A and B are shown apart, each in its own frame.
Chain A
Amino acid sequence: MLMDTILFYLFAALVLGGGILTITRRNAVHSAIFLILSLLGVAGLYLLQSAEFLFAVQIVLYVGGIMVLFLFVIMLVNLDQAAKEKQFNRQWTVALACAGLVGAEIFYFLAKGAGAFQLAKGTAEANTGMGNTERLADALFSQYLLPFEIASLLLLVAVVGSVVMAKKRI
């Protein structure tokens, strides 16, 4: 139990520290690397919640796939100009107000405890002995088979659309 708590704070610090460093670094590549750190922290939090599948997906997709794409784009786009720009723009007061509002909301619900936000029983179902990954697979390939398959059509449309918008002339 104590170990869990220590690990939780460790991962949470990783998430927050990585996040702050991501938005404060001037060099875009450094920002991307700190974002990886932050995403790794989130993966650790998933593991603590015994959501092994989400942990694996987080590492493979976000840390692996999406971040590599980020880095490719950063290297393709010329960012020298952006590095010289001011880091704070005029909207920072509005952003601060929004962040403050969300923060107040979170502290309100933390103070009220679990009773403030009553979740349905189905979502917090007791562990039935089956592992997290097995239950997910069971849901995906039985009840949610059609949305799972149709989502691939959504990706196809997005790919075709981006090629149509980006290409010069076939």
Chain B
Amino acid sequence: MYASLVPTSAEMIRFLPELILTVVATLFMVLDPLLGRQSRHVYGHFSILALLGAMAAAVYVYRDPGAAFSGMLMVDGFATFFRVVVIGVGILTVLPSYRYLDREDAETGEYHALLLFSIVGQCVMVTANELIMIFIGLEISSIASYVLAGYLRDDRRANEAALKYFLLGSFATAFFLYGVALIYGMTGSTNLATVRRAILGGSLGSAPIFIGVAAALMFVGLGFKVSGAPFQIWAPDVYQGAPTPVAAFLSAGPKAAAFAIFLRIFLTAFQPIGPGWEPLVWVSALASMTLGNFAALTQSNIKRLLAYSSIAHAGYVLVALAARSNVGTAAAMFYMAAYAFMNIGAFAVVSHLSGKGERYLKVEDFAGLGAKQPGTAALLSIFLLSLIGVPLTGGFFGKFYIFKAALDSHLVWLTVLGLLNSAVAAYYYLRILVMMYMREPGEAASRIQPLTPGLRAALVLPALGTLVLGIFPGWVLDFAGRSSVFVR
């Protein structure tokens, strides 16, 4: 009997990426008092090594997919895809952080430890097949993110960002947890497949209404985490106040993980009541796209602009969720990968240009960047064109597949309104391009520092990713298509 208490080695190996990251992050905190200030870059190097190791492990464990720890985890193609995405986001966040932390004279040890912990939480989320596991992963990821958002404690904006993020985030988590409790009360299980069977079995008596309530509560919680309207209020303030590399991380990593559990919960456990929640997602998708894009038109602060743009992009992914099909899931997976590349790249340029204390954050501060640093400007152009959705970039195929999936599911109006929205969005991205190439250099562009190796990698890698996804989308899309079928 006691032998069954010990997890088998196959199960332990399926948990390997999280184990690697946890061990390294814990070591950072032990090493922090031992290493002096001159070794402040060591943490970054080891973070990258750990993340590369975890990514390799995530790919390796996919050779033997399956459940682990009494069905708590499900290592399938879907989980592997999102594990690689969130770990990749981690690498692309560490690279610009070297320069940023030096410039702002902040401590590096805890920063990288918290970043790794947050990624552990996201890996747990995307692998979990069980509501309690999802909740714990969500909380690990969120609590580490709250602290990262307020990491520069002497900065008033960062404090405000962290407090707002913490309060609203806790509120949203409470909604999610309330939904989980109702589900457990109704079905007697928190395992997604079992919940689905209980709903299908019809043995719930008067419960369907409560299942609907539970789905709505979880929708509120997850809607907040992906910053979909009407739960998007926090995003501009938090992205503006958080350190720029952290804002880049928040807009890609936790968001991708939240979308992963959104898709998994709503397309496995709540799949039988799909016609019930589809209108909710429909409205939320349209509201996110419209609110995000129209609010972004009037922003003068580049971080707020990117925050509103990230709300709009959440809307596009919600369109894929509303499609309720495997094609839609695959499109959402592809979009999150493409979005991670282009958005982190754009934020890395902002981090580079903004200077010490993040002084230059106006859209006008991009004036003349094309003349002063043509390489940086060219890379930013790639990211912006991809955010618009111009062909030959990942953003184009992301949008293309999402709207194709929506049409396949007969969501004609949502597709039309979404396409109109992406036309509106082109305006504010093009404004930055015009600023870069057609204006005389201003103060910000004249004072711009040369690129460090870390920053150069942080700009070139996402640009390569964006272009590869735009020119050869087939491989990633094939994989996404194959892994979009959930184990039910």
Contact = CB atoms under 8 A, between A and B. Distances in A.
Tell me if chain B binds chain A.
yes
Nearest to B69: A146
A170 interface: yes
Given A157-B140, A160-B114, A165-B150, A121 B120 contact: no
A7 interface: no
A145 B69 contact: yes
A120 B198 contact: yes
B376 interface: no
B73 interface: yes
B189 A147 contact: no
Interface in A78-135: 115-123
- The size class of the interface chain B forms with chain A is 35 or more
B133 A147 contact: yes
B451 interface: no
Contact of A146 (B73, B184, B188): B73
Contacts of B140: 150, 153-154, 157
B72 A146 contact: yes
A119 B70 contact: no
A120 B22 contact: no
Nearest to A143: B70
Interface string A127-170: 00000000000000111111100110110111011001100001
- Which secondary structure characterizes the binding site on chain B? helix
A120 B182 CA distance: 11
Interface in B158-193: 162, 184-189
Interface in B187-209: 187-189, 198, 204-207
Given A123-B185, A142-B5, A161 B206 contact: no
B188 A118 contact: no
Interface residues of A, number: 28
Contacts of B70: 142-146
A101 to B, nearest CB: 15
B216 interface: no
Contacts of B144: 157, 161
Interface of B: 4-5, 7, 15, 22, 26, 29, 32-33, 68-70, 72-73, 107, 110, 113-114, 117, 120-121, 124, 130, 132-133, 136-137, 139-140, 143-144, 146-147, 150-151, 153, 162, 184-189, 198, 204-207, 210
30 contacts: A118-B206, A118-B207, A120-B187, A122-B187, A122-B188, A123-B185, A142-B70, A143-B70, A144-B70, A144-B132, A145-B5, A145-B69, A146-B69, A146-B70, A146-B72, A146-B73, A146-B133, A147-B136, A150-B136, A150-B137, A153-B140, A154-B139, A154-B140, A157-B114, A157-B117, A158-B143, A160-B113, A161-B147, A164-B110, A170-B33
